[in-house]
Chains A and B, each alone.
Chain A
């Protein structure tokens, strides 16, 4: 029997979909059988981030309404053997799936997969409630910005009210140069404010843009720093004790020069 993990954030644009894709790919790299579920009906994107957009025939709404068998709606990745996607519907109404249908769907997927990773839409409305309905655990993604941390706080409250106790936090897009100069909140600052357990930290990196352009999760690239961060996170999800990544300053000419004069 597998585990259903929902990836949430409240605020849009903090990296939920990228996180979902990379955690999914990393768990598949660990040899786990993984299904990612896009619940952002009407605004689907996980298919694009994973590079599977041309292979969609049926979607989540078809699957829950019985227009097709669940297996027919699952897209099997050709690069990673154990990785599957259940895409969101793009044309249907966002209320097309109910909470009860979502719970039933998660139960079925759990029988087949080690991990079911649910990508939650932004916001706290219907789509959010649906996405968390069948989840066993929750992950909250934030960035070191006031607006993202504020929304994360709200989401943590709603998750706990829905009996998803002890959600774990991922701090995404950390710019270590700015943290060191005191112009960006550190991971410690954020943890102090939100008071929840940390699942992982991910550095801000141009590599994410490049990998999204290509439709290949950065976790599949051995040399990628954020890829390494996501692979660490996946191992922690799988119960391994992995130390936090040490983030280092980028040594550009100007930062090196600045450092010379600061010391």
Chain B
């Protein structure tokens, strides 16, 4: 190794290490998805009610036990719903 390449490495020429700003940006993006949702609990309530209405057309569900949440996955945020079915309506058509 020449002294030049050693000094180059020493002064940060090595680009293999991910720049820390990209890490910050990605973490911030995820945090803000959560923050913005937390702020608008009303939105989640509305979503829950709309879900009950739509699904209710096709099946009878346990609205008390219904859970709708935003969960953090490794590479993003997911909307997960746990909707216990009590009964499925008979197909009329």
B1-33 interface (Cβ within 8 A of A): 4, 7-8, 10-13, 19-22, 24-25, 27-29, 31-32
Binary CB contact string for chain B from 58 to 85 against chain A (1 if under 8 A, 0 otherwise):
0000000000000000000000000000
Tell me the bound Cα distance from A184 to B19 in angstroms: 9
Task: Assess whether B19 is in contact with A181, with CB atoms less than 8 Å apart.
Answer: yes
Task: Assess whether B4 is in contact with A261, with CB atoms less than 8 Å apart.
Answer: yes
A177-199 interface (Cβ within 8 A of B): 179, 181-186, 189, 193
Say if the beta carbon of B39 comes within 8 Å of chain A. Answer: yes
Say if the beta carbon of B57 comes within 8 Å of chain A. Answer: no
Tell me the bound Cα distance from A95 to B58 in angstroms: 54
Tell me the bound Cα distance from A262 to B11 in angstroms: 7
Task: Assess whether A193 is in contact with B21, with CB atoms less than 8 Å apart.
Answer: no
Tell me the bound Cα distance from A257 to B29 in angstroms: 35
From B19, B21, B29, B39, A154 is in contact (CB under 8 Å) with: B39
From B4, B21, B32, A184 is in contact (CB under 8 Å) with: B21
Interface size on A, residues (CB 8 A): 20
Binary CB contact string for chain A from 12 to 24 against chain B (1 if under 8 A, 0 otherwise):
0000000000000
Q: Identify which of A184, A185, A261 gathers the most chain B CB atoms within 10 Å of its CB.
A: A261
Task: Assess whether A193 is in contact with B32, with CB atoms less than 8 Å apart.
Answer: yes
Task: Assess whether A193 is in contact with B29, with CB atoms less than 8 Å apart.
Answer: yes
Task: Assess whether A181 is in contact with B36, with CB atoms less than 8 Å apart.
Answer: no
Binary CB contact string for chain A from 151 to 172 against chain B (1 if under 8 A, 0 otherwise):
0011001000000000000000
Task: Assess whether B11 is in contact with A257, with CB atoms less than 8 Å apart.
Answer: yes
Identity of the chain A residue whose Cβ is nearest the Cβ of B4 in the assembled complex? A261
From A157, A185, A257, A262, B21 is in contact (CB under 8 Å) with: A185
A114-157 interface (Cβ within 8 A of B): 145-146, 149-150, 153-154, 157
Secondary structure type dominating chain A contacts: helix
Task: Assess whether B11 is in contact with A258, with CB atoms less than 8 Å apart.
Answer: yes
Identity of the chain B residue whose Cβ is nearest the Cβ of A153 in the assembled complex? B32
Say if the beta carbon of B53 comes within 8 Å of chain A. Answer: no
Task: Assess whether B35 is in contact with A262, with CB atoms less than 8 Å apart.
Answer: no
Binary CB contact string for chain A from 234 to 263 against chain B (1 if under 8 A, 0 otherwise):
000000000000000000000001100110
- B residues less than 8 Å from A193 (CB atoms): 25, 28-29, 32
Task: Assess whether B36 is in contact with A153, with CB atoms less than 8 Å apart.
Answer: yes
- B residues less than 8 Å from A186 (CB atoms): 21
Task: Assess whether B25 is in contact with A185, with CB atoms less than 8 Å apart.
Answer: yes
B interface with A by C-beta (< 8 Å) = 4, 7-8, 10-13, 19-22, 24-25, 27-29, 31-32, 35-36, 39
Contacts A145-B24, A150-B28, A261-B4 aside, 13 further interface pairs with beta carbons under 8 A come to A146-B24, A154-B35, A183-B20, A183-B21, A185-B24, A186-B21, A189-B21, A189-B25, A193-B25, A193-B32, A261-B7, A261-B11, A262-B12
A interface with B by C-beta (< 8 Å) = 145-146, 149-150, 153-154, 157, 179, 181-186, 189, 193, 257-258, 261-262
Task: Sort A-B residue pairs by CB-CB distance and give the 10 closest, nearest first.
Answer: A182-B19, A258-B11, A261-B8, A261-B11, A183-B20, A185-B21, A146-B24, A146-B28, A261-B7, A262-B13
Q: What are 7 A-B interface contacts by the 8 Å CB criterion? A: A145-B24, A146-B27, A150-B31, A181-B12, A258-B11, A261-B10, A262-B8
